[in-house]
Structure 1
Amino acid sequence: MPSERSPHIREAYGVVSLSSRHPELRRLKSQQDEPSIHGNKLWGACYLLMDYLTERPLERGCKVLDLGCGWGLGAIYCAKTFGARVTALDADPAVFPFLHLLARHNGVEITEQVKSFDQLSSDELAEYDVIIGADICFWDELAEEVQKVIDLAVNAGVGQIILTDPQRPPFNEMADYCVDTHYAELFQVEVNTPRRFTGSALVIENR
């Protein structure tokens, strides 16, 4: 069931998150291995993604893949807001206890998948209507892998790909490639809730 309000619960875009002082989150951190690929907190690009989707909503019940999900706030938003069937994918299994904790507080269920980007196949990507990702190009090597996933997804017929980022250089380079190759659009996004974040949304419409 969704959470009751407490000083350590925050809400933005209809999704609740837990502050670092929330008892359940503190307990989980003490019991679980520390995520190793920067999946140790919520990142601002998740809110950029939610803001973009608030203005341009997904079709209800669509099938969504959240790449490099981390704690999965983007996945949770899609499930809660659009009734989407969401698979959250990350190479680090240590992120999923945190994702499921937040999912429980939001009253949704998310399917988890432990896999790296380079393990994804065209046939697997073809199962999804939408691919999302937030702040997943923080290394040059990751941006190259994301670019290859996008190539596969476009060729597989995925209808929509939406990635948000605080405009890190690896993302910007990958975005330029997508604009040139896949006719992607790049939108500037700024949010002030739960605090100020700025960045870009890279959007590929493939339908």
Structure 2
Amino acid sequence: MKQRQRFNIKYRTTQVRGRSNNFWAFGVNIFKPNHPDVQALVEDGFVPQHYASKVWQSNFLLMNILKDVPFKRQLKVLEIGAGWGALSVFMNKHYNAEVIASDLDENLKPYQQSLAGHNDTEVDSQTIAIEDISEAILDDTDLIVASDICYNKDTKQALQLLVESVACRSDVVMLLADIGRKAFMQLSDDNKIFLDVELQNHRIEQPIEMDGYVLSVNSLEGVLC
């Protein structure tokens, strides 16, 4: 019973819906758009672009999967299209990972740092386009994570090149979560030719009840040792 209590505290999760200006997702306290810290950033001119006005729900699919992975070493993690960086905070908080929260929008850096500080974590915020993720960056990365970033033709094309680059390696794992948008499902179909690319359905009930998908490139077993 005591072990269960510690687990529940570590991965505390509450429902998104409600009057509170924040909620918990797998041990990470996440701001809602009406949180005073978020409103202050908007008033200071840091207006999010590219649909990054909140933490998108597919983040929670990956958190639910990653919480059960027994990582045995400190990982170097790159979150792409990170938005407010909730996944980055999760990986640093629970696994002490060296995390880069990257996004095309420079205005998101203060959101990432605010959320990281609020959760007593350390996250490196960088402005990186998907197209600019080079082999040199991949050489210094163990795990790539992303959520809800494949939503049109342009993002699908950029991710296609990245999937191909990662699939041709054995030292990097990529996990891409989505609610099942057309562009994302097409990305999955176009990469069935790769042996180590797999699409799986995933369902969670908290912090929001939802069904979604996770596209994995290479097996997580590759980063366990």
With the length of structure 2 as denominator, give the TM-score of the two structures: 0.83
Distance across 1 between alignment mates of 2:217 and 2:203: 20
User: How do residues 50-199 of structure 1 correspond to structure 2 at under 5 angstroms?
Assistant: 50-199=63-212
Alignment check: 8 A CA contact 2:103 2:127 kept: yes
Task: Give 1:54's aligned amino acid.
Answer: K
Task: Give 2:211's aligned amino acid.
Answer: T
Which is further off, 184-193 or 40-49? 184-193
Choose 1 or 2 for highest CA Rg: 2
Shift of residue 171, structure 1, vs aligned partner = 0.6
Alignment check: 8 A CA contact 1:126 1:157 kept: no
Q: What secondary structure is seen at the aligned counterpart in 2 of 1:137? A: coil
Identity of aligned residues (%): 26
Match of 1:40 among 30, 37, 53: 53
Q: What secondary structure is seen at the aligned counterpart in 2 of 1:179? A: coil
Distance across 1 between alignment mates of 2:141 and 2:24: 28
Distance across 1 between alignment mates of 2:183 and 2:216: 16
Alignment check: 8 A CA contact 2:147 2:176 kept: yes
User: How do residues 4-19 of structure 1 correspond to structure 2 at under 5 angstroms?
Assistant: 7-19=20-32
Task: Give 1:187's aligned amino acid.
Answer: Q
Which is further off, 173-182 or 130-139? 173-182
Q: What secondary structure is seen at the aligned counterpart in 2 of 1:185? A: strand
Alignment check: 8 A CA contact 2:105 2:127 kept: yes
Shift of residue 59, structure 1, vs aligned partner = 4.1
Aligned to 1:3: none
Aligned to 1:203: 216
What is the alpha-carbon root mean square deviation over aligned residues?
Answer: 1.8
Aligned to 2:4: none
Shift of residue 7, structure 1, vs aligned partner = 4.1
CA change 1:109–1:201 in 2 (3 A) is same
Alignment check: 8 A CA contact 1:91 1:114 kept: yes
Aligned to 2:5: none
Shift of residue 89, structure 1, vs aligned partner = 1.1
In the TM superposition, what whole-angstrom CA distance separates every residue of 1:130-179 from its partner, at most 9, and x where no partner exists?
A: 11111110112101101101222333544311110001011111112233
Shift of residue 203, structure 1, vs aligned partner = 1.1
Alignment check: 8 A CA contact 1:40 1:95 kept: no
Q: What secondary structure is seen at the aligned counterpart in 2 of 1:180? A: coil
Which is further off, 173-182 or 99-108? 173-182
In the TM superposition, what whole-angstrom CA distance separates every residue of 1:101-131 from its partner, at most 9, and x where no partner exists?
A: 1111111111111121112211221210111
Task: Give 2:193's aligned amino acid.
Answer: D
Distance across 1 between alignment mates of 2:128 and 2:78: 12
Aligned to 2:14: none
> 5+ unaligned residues in a row in structure 2: which ranges?
1-18
How many residue pairs get aligned? The number is 202
Which is further off, 27-36 or 51-60? 51-60
Shift of residue 15, structure 1, vs aligned partner = 0.6
Distance across 1 between alignment mates of 2:104 and 2:158: 13
With the length of structure 1 as denominator, give the TM-score of the two structures: 0.90
